[in-house]
Copies of this chain bind each other. A is one copy, B any other.
Amino acid sequence: MTTPLAVTVPLDQGRAYDILIGRNLLDEAGTRVAALKAKAAVIVTDANVAALYGERMRTSLEAAGLRSGLVVVAPGEASKCYATYAQVCDGLLVHRVERGDLVVALGGGVVGDLAGFAAATLRRGVRFVQAPTSLLAQVDSSVGGKTGINSPLGKNLIGAFHQPRLVLADTATLDTLSEREMRAGYAEVAKYGLINDAGFFDWCEANWDGIFSGGPARDEAVAICCRAKANVVVRDEREDGERALLNLGHTFGHALERLTSYDSQRLVHGEGVAIGLALAFRFSARLGLCPGQDAGRVANHLALAGLPTTLRAVPGGCGDADALVEAMAQDKKVRDGALTFILARGIGQSFIAPGIDAAEVRAFLTDELRAA
């Protein structure tokens, strides 16, 4: 076996787990998963990933003596719904997943969230392994135990906290991602620098193309992001406080996804986040919290990586300021009707800003929509 980069998430009560990062880790899945002592490990994946990596993963699991099987869902955000959740649960039951067995989520963020939620609730909880195959999933959604699906009333409104027992981030799988998916994942990479690590943002400005092309910069970036996320998650697993910082860019981003009907032709999650990051910094600058220069640097870097940074960049538009504020009010980061944002005093200096006045937000968005 190769020696992958390793990040430990040191949770209590025997729930600590490792994130392993390296090229071609998929072929080690069997050995690594068998070490968790299960009889069966059933893979949940989508049709695209199944075609690329399904049999390879299954072969690795069975070679290690695990009974395996595949539950395949349709690709795309639309699968994070009640009906597909039921399909996955029943599929796992058909494969006779018992309490001591494992679910393996093989795919991007949608598969990880969906399969993780199914694992969290199958027989009131079975263990699961994340094998993320998108950059977004490797640096964000596969770590930290947030699982769930969307309701017609909003994104990620249904779910559970359920930590994986292992994360296997095979960075060679990113070679098969489209440029657009790589860019979308990269928005989350840059986010970690913007939250609390100005040095990492500098590093990103210098090395971002190495992440896209593969090689050591990619593995290193994934490891840095996972370590950053792990640190936050360990201190605030259930998002009672600090973990909300990870939502930098997401309050705006989720509203945009909502207003484009989660139609990935128009906008994928990472693009919404990229616009959201740029907006969060410009809004912070407008409120006099952050130098305008930092806001400019954020937007410039994201644009250089090919990401959208303005409301006008949303194909087909995103509605007016009222629609945006209303969509944000549906977000679960609302308490008692007040809007909570993550704002910044500069690059690497984000903070939680509760009780932001909706009128202030509306005025800002109106100007953003008007800007040439």
Contacts and interface: CB of A to CB of B under 8 A. Distances in A.
A6 to B, nearest CB: 28
A160 B158 contact: no
A360 interface: no
Interface residues of A, number: 35
A130 to B, nearest CB: 17
Interface stretch (A28-36, A50-58, A121-129, A200-208): A121-129
Interface string A148-167: 10011110011111000000
A336 interface: yes
A83, A90, A120, A158: residue with the most chain B Cβ atoms closer than 10 Å = A158
Given A82-B86, A99-B335, A93 B157 contact: yes
A124 B148 contact: yes
A336 B82 contact: no
Copies in the complex: 2
B336 A39 contact: yes
Given A93-B153, A100-B336, A124 B160 contact: yes
Nearest to A148: B124
Nearest to A161: B124
A98 B335 contact: yes
Given A98-B335, A100-B335, A100-B336, A160 B120 contact: yes
A41 interface: no
Given A93-B151, A332-B99, A160 B157 contact: no
A332 B123 contact: yes
27 contacts: A39-B336, A82-B86, A86-B151, A89-B151, A90-B152, A90-B153, A93-B151, A93-B153, A93-B157, A94-B153, A98-B332, A98-B334, A99-B332, A100-B335, A100-B336, A117-B121, A120-B160, A121-B121, A121-B148, A121-B159, A121-B160, A123-B159, A124-B146, A124-B148, A124-B160, A124-B161, A125-B160
